[in-house]
Structure 1
Amino acid sequence: MTNPAEELLDVVDEHDRVTGTATRGEVYRLGLTHRCVFILVRDPQRRIFVHRRTETKLFAPGAYDMFVGGVVGAGETYEDAAVREAEEELGVDGVRPRPLFRFLFEQGTLSWWCRVYEAEWDGPVSPQVEEVGWYGWLTGEELAGRLAEYEFVPDGREAYRRYLESSAG
């Protein structure tokens, strides 16, 4: 398995235009703006796939997340990354994410463009043990309770807040 810190990413500007490439390690160390995808996966009962990240993750190890997803590789489209990340993290084939919205996440030295998707999955999952330490399917109410109790990734919290705002209107 390749070292995640060596993965090549596109570096982008404030308008999400590619300005160069750098390794993930350099991107994080230098605070370079890059691209990420977030996929909110629901089952037919509308429950949300929630998981705890493993302790080996470069960003937010051990934190919970209500999205599957990750960085967009150099030269990769958001759409291709959304399918790849959803299928890798869930351990399945045939996920078809539907695009919802995008935003620029900025916190301290962290900065990345986020494309948010939603997908439905009706079947068993087999999450990557390197990525997912625990998982479950939670109702919106159960997730709201966990958000008050557990540490969630900050970009996922922001994406979910925006998701709830967009679906309320």
Structure 2
Amino acid sequence: MSAADEVLDVVDRDDRVVGQAPRGEVYAQGLIHRCVFVRAVDAQGRVFVHRRTASKLVFPSYYDMFVGGVVGAGESYPQAALREAEEELGVRGLAQPTPLFKFLYEGPGGAWWSYVHEVRCELPVDPQASEVDWHTYLTPVELDRRVTDGEWAWVPDGLEAYRRLRARPEFRQ
């Protein structure tokens, strides 16, 4: 099955399920669906950052400071957060990611409910080749610099999640 064939829950502006459709149809029609964002932090407090592959359906070859993706039909946000983090990082045995906050992203690419999580990953990563083209860990200061210097094209939904995360009192430096 291709990524475009994966069935997703279609939701309304209050995050209530109103139907289901294949991912390709959801994207083509701009239907609201659900996504998870997981901030993966190593033992030194550095954040996993990667460049998406050119084959991605949305934001190909853009940089991201979160791993994650769509929530499948009938899947919960916590289930999707753990599944996506383990898949994209190429690890098994992560702790359940901690939920932080949820918001409705509306911008380039469409609209989707975005649930931001965080997980500590001390395991050696082997990122999924179909999802991740390049990766590194950056300190929070290095990440802030990369976000503000304009040299990297960041996924707009991840950038919005990052800005909201940085505005939270517990994440200010």
Does the TM-score normalized on the shorter chain lie above 0.5? yes
Would you say 1:140 and 2:144 are equivalent positions? no
Kindly, what percent of the aligned residue pairs are identical? 57
C-alpha distance in 1 between matches for 2:93 and 2:117: 15
Q: What is residue 115 of structure 2 aligned with on the other side?
A: 115
Alignment of 1:22-33 (within 5 A): 22-33=21-32
Q: 1:41 to 1:108 in 2, by over 3 A?
A: closer
CA distance in 1: counterparts of 2:62 and 2:109, whole angstroms? 19
**Displacement of 1:108:** 5.2
The residue identity in structure 1 corresponding to 2:129 is V
Moved more, 31-40 or 145-154: 145-154
Task: Return closer, same or farther for 1:108/1:50 CA change in 2, 3 Å cut-off.
Answer: closer
Q: CA 1:156/1:109 → structure 2, altered by over 3 Å: closer, same or farther?
A: closer
Displacement of 1:140 after TM fit?
1.1
Q: How does 1:2-41 map to 2 (within 5 A)?
A: 2-41=1-40
- CA-atom RMSD, angstroms? 1.2
Instruction: Kindly state the Cα deviation for residue 109 of structure 1 after the two structures are TM-superposed.
Output: 6.3
**What one-letter code is carried by the residue in structure 2 that aligns with 1:30?**
Q
CA distance in 1 between counterparts of 2:172 and 2:66 reads: 19
Tell whether 2:135 aligns with 1:131.
no
- Runs of 4+ in structure 1 over 6 Å off: none
Distance across 1 between alignment mates of 2:79 and 2:163:
24
Distance (Å, rounded) in 2 between the aligned partners of 1:108 and 1:154: 7
Q: How does 1:23-62 map to 2 (within 5 A)?
A: 23-62=22-61
Per-residue Cα deviation, 1:83-125 (whole angstroms, up to 9, x for no partner): 0000000111122200000000001560100000000011200
Name structure 2 gaps, 5 residues minimum: none
SS of the aligned residue for 2:159 comes to helix
- Listed as ranges, the matches of 1:51-130 within 5 Å are 51-95=50-94, 96-107=96-107, 110-130=110-130
3-state SS of paired residue (2:54): coil
For the structure 1 residues 110 and 100, does the alpha-carbon distance in structure 2 shift closer, same or farther, using more than 3 Å as the test? same
SS in 1 for 2:14: coil
Could you tell me which residue of structure 1 aligns to residue 172 of structure 2?
168
Corresponding position of 2:160: 158
**Number of matched residues?**
168
CA distance in 2, matches of 1:58, 1:146: 24
Q: Which runs of 5+ in 1 are unaligned?
A: none
Residue 142 of structure 1: CA displacement? 1.2
Question: What secondary structure sits across from 1:45 in the alignment?
Answer: coil
